[in-house]
Structure 1
Amino acid sequence: MTTPPETSSTLRALVVTAHPDDVDFGSAGTVASWVADGVQVAYCVCTSGDAGGFDDTPREDMPRIRQDEQRAAAAAVGVSDVRFLGYQDGRVVADLQLRRDITKVIRELRPHRVISHSPEINWAHLPTSHPDHRAVGEATLAAIYPDARNGFAHPELLREGLEPWTVRELWMSESPEERINHAVDITDHFDAKLAALAAHRSQTAHLDDLQGMIRRHLARTAERHGMTGRLAEAFHVVDTS
């Protein structure tokens, strides 16, 4: 496994996801561990989750509900900066507009690390490879390299005073297993992850054993990466500097 630089109070991290709750299923334990170590973390959610939900909640209410849930979930792991780009759930494509919008957030926040979705299909666990996830992963990768660091890309951002910025690391969740090269022990932050997931009531209230399901998944991940008896989240980490 790779050994990314140690977390410290000098680091800033950005999580870019497709939908509210994506970060909490994939990375909330890791985020909680970073926050505990003094890392400044912000979220950028590309949609408002308007196609989500499992009951008869009016569709027009869903974006507000899910944004509120994501803010509450973020607070559970110590994150207060949550931004929504407003793309339509289920119709995200990795076009120049999305790349520009993610580049803008990167230049505004100047993160050293970015977590996002893998742009690849994980054939072993297809539900994680939602088309929106892959599109956001592809657009985020392009925003990190070359867009955010290239002053000639999206020149209107320079006119807004947003100077180029080079992200050091990209952490991709939902990658095919053969790509995984780093696992984070989140045992001490499991309760925070669970609280974040429970905040997404529109998505998780119908699950009979959320805690057991998540614990079993994290235990299997830890076992695969040599952390028997622990709980872990796993990533494909790439040096993007």
Structure 2
Amino acid sequence: MSPVTPIEARSALVVTAHPDDVDFGAAATVAGWTDAGVEVSYCVVTSGEAGGEVGRDAAALAARREAEQRAAAEVVGVRDVRFLRYPDGAVEPSLALRRDITRVIRTVRPERVMTWSPEINWAFVATTHPDHRAVGTATFAAVYPDARNPHVFPELLADEGLEPWTVRELWLVDGPVERRNHAVDVTATFDRKLAALRSHVSQVGDGDGLDVGIRTYLSGIATRHGLANGLLAEDFQVVDTS
């Protein structure tokens, strides 16, 4: 796709399926946003309780993973972290989920929303979790048309006083490579991405080897988008939704 120039956003909402999704996919970009004065909020649809060993306490793991995500968010300058607590591994793009994400959009009123692509990344299917795609589908519907239409989920306006809101721009993470039309130079914020990832101790352990693996991946993205040798990048499909 042809490169795009994103809007000058002052507020953003990141909607993910699980704790740690944003840190693997976009934490360095988020750190750059907050450094530039963008007010960023996170909405995490599940609490990540479906992982871990057989026989683990799901509620305890959920609480631990929520705490890890809040700690990771602090590293990149995000202090507003909301959990919807849908069941991990069983997320569907239901009307209920669309309503709940619409509620967050109308509350936060972001100019930009980031979420996961509803499409399959055939180049790296290991990251194409069904929950990711379900959240992407529901979030896109919440961005357009739900959040801006007063006649969709009218109870949000009538009972909660949440006025319609139009999101101007949607950033999709981990979609098909050929659809990614914007790369962000994250060389300066790479260390904070690593620190955010290391906050998820239940998932990455001591983080041994994380630096090399993530650096190699981001270097490849930078090369693919024609950035100078030695730079690191995260890339996205950016869509005008205004």
Q: TM-score range by the shorter chain?
A: over 0.9
Once the two structures are superposed, residues 182-240 of structure 1 have per-residue CA deviations (whole angstroms, 9 ceiling, x without a partner) of: 00000000111000000000001165301111111110111101113101000000000
1:5, distance to aligned residue in structure 2 (A): 2.0
1:22-61 → structure 2 map (5 Å cutoff):
22-53=21-52, 57-61=56-60
Question: Which ranges of structure 1 fall in alignment gaps of 5 or more residues?
Answer: none
1:133 counterpart = 2:135 = no
Counterpart of 2:5 (choices 3, 6, 9) is: 3
1:240 counterpart = 2:225 = no
Opposite residue 81 of structure 1, the aligned amino acid is: D
Q: 1 CA distance for matches of 2:225 and 2:200? A: 29
TM value normalised by structure 1: 0.96
1:15-164 → structure 2 map (5 Å cutoff):
15-53=14-52, 57-159=56-158, 160-164=160-164
Specify the alignment match of 2:232 in structure 1.
231
Opposite residue 148 of structure 1, the aligned amino acid is: A
1:211 counterpart = 2:200 = no
Q: 1 CA distance for matches of 2:53 and 2:15? A: 24
Aligned positions, number: 238
Contact preservation (8 Å) 2:198, 2:206: no
Specify the alignment match of 1:195 in structure 2.
195
Opposite residue 67 of structure 1, the aligned amino acid is: E
Range with greater deviation from structure 2 (202-211 or 44-53): 202-211
Opposite residue 3 of structure 1, the aligned amino acid is: T
Q: 2 CA distance for matches of 1:240 and 1:128? A: 25
Contact preservation (8 Å) 2:107, 2:162: yes
Q: 2 CA distance for matches of 1:77 and 1:53? A: 26
Q: 2 CA distance for matches of 1:59 and 1:145? A: 34
Local SS of the residue matching 2:22:
helix
Range with greater deviation from structure 2 (197-206 or 106-115): 197-206
1:80, distance to aligned residue in structure 2 (A): 0.4
Opposite residue 150 of structure 2, the aligned amino acid is: G
Query: Which runs of 4 or more aligned residues in structure 1 lie more than 6 Å from their structure 2 counterparts after TM superposition?
Result: none
1:104, distance to aligned residue in structure 2 (A): 0.2
1:54, distance to aligned residue in structure 2 (A): 5.7
Change in CA separation of 1:186 and 1:119 when aligned onto 2, cut-off 3 Å: same
Contact preservation (8 Å) 1:54, 1:202: no
1:174 counterpart = 2:151 = no
Local SS of the residue matching 2:164:
coil
1:55, distance to aligned residue in structure 2 (A): 8.2
Contact preservation (8 Å) 1:2, 1:182: yes
* Alpha-carbon RMSD: 1.2
Local SS of the residue matching 1:93:
coil
Local SS of the residue matching 2:4:
coil
Local SS of the residue matching 1:124:
coil
Q: 2 CA distance for matches of 1:60 and 1:82? A: 19
Change in CA separation of 1:54 and 1:30 when aligned onto 2, cut-off 3 Å: farther
